[in-house]
Amino acid sequence: MKPRRRLLTGAATVIAAAAHAPCVPLPAAFAQSVPALHRGTDYRLLDPAQPAPADRLQVLEFFYYGCPFCHQLEPLLVDWLQRQPADVVFDRVPVIGRDAWVPLARLYYTLGAVGALAGHHAAVYRALHDEGVPLAQPDTAADWAARRGLDRSRFIAAWRSAEVEANVLRARRMSDDYDIQATPSMVIDGRLLTSSGLTNGVPALLPMVNRLIVLARAERARAKAA
């Protein structure tokens, strides 16, 4: 595992090498419809690339429940997901930038383990940022879940389960392997990473993801034709 580093949330992250970042041209078929992308200012290229499905384009959101910019992104992301084609597969990974982030990652996987993630994911953001509920505390999180109609005993059992612990360890590894330096970050096809820091704000993040999806498609088509 790489050494733990200071991980920032939101637009504060800047890539120092951006001033000399190369322009990445797209194939002619895409050049007129998609502006040129600049590595280092628009996105980073992961090296090594991480595993991704061969038959679909994977988009991963790396988020932290405590990040206000992730909270801002969530409703935009919900709308964006409704407009994606069938070959785009999406998943979330809770970032563990430091040990203090573990409980909120555990909360994410606990909600998944009890089958309540879809109905409660956005509610976690609201509880933390709008209502000031300290959900990183296990008892408080369990009480909050019970108020929302979940079985408290089942929630606590899931929180302490080997399944959730394994998912938390996996999220920690992925936070390192994908070199996540800010939240929210989005990784397309296991190689192309952008963030609200690189796009200078949350509203520009998903439009950049759309452009990177086009780039990933073009690169796949070029590799197939070679």
Q: Summarize the chain as % helix, strand, coil (round to 5).
A: 50, 15, 35
Residue 17 has pLDDT above 90, yes or no: no
**If you average pLDDT over residues 106-124, what whole number do you get?**
98
CA distances, 165 to each of 117, 139, 191, 217 (Å): 17, 17, 27, 35
Q: What angle do CA 186, 15, 70 make, to 5 degrees?
A: 35
In CATH terms, 55-225 corresponds, of 3.30.9.10, 3.40.30.10, 3.10.20.30, 3.10.450.30, to 3.40.30.10
pLDDT tens-digit series, residues 172-182: 999 999 999 99
| Better pLDDT: 41 or 202 | 202
Pull the structure tokens for residue 145. Answer: 């879940």
Residue 4 has pLDDT above 70, yes or no: no
pLDDT tens-digit series, residues 93-105: 999 999 999 999 9
Radius of gyration of the CA atoms of the chain, in A: 18
Residue 35: how many other CB atoms lie within 10 Å: 11
Q: Which DSSP state fits 65?
A: T
> Which of the four pLDDT bands, split at 50, 70 and 90, describes residue 85?
very high
**If you average pLDDT over residues 158-162, what whole number do you get?**
98
- Given a contact cutoff of 8 angstroms between Cβ atoms, the answer to whether 209 and 185 are in contact is no
Closest by Cα among 92, 53, 35, 74 to 208: 35
Q: Which phi and psi angles does 222 have, rounded to 5°?
A: -65, -40
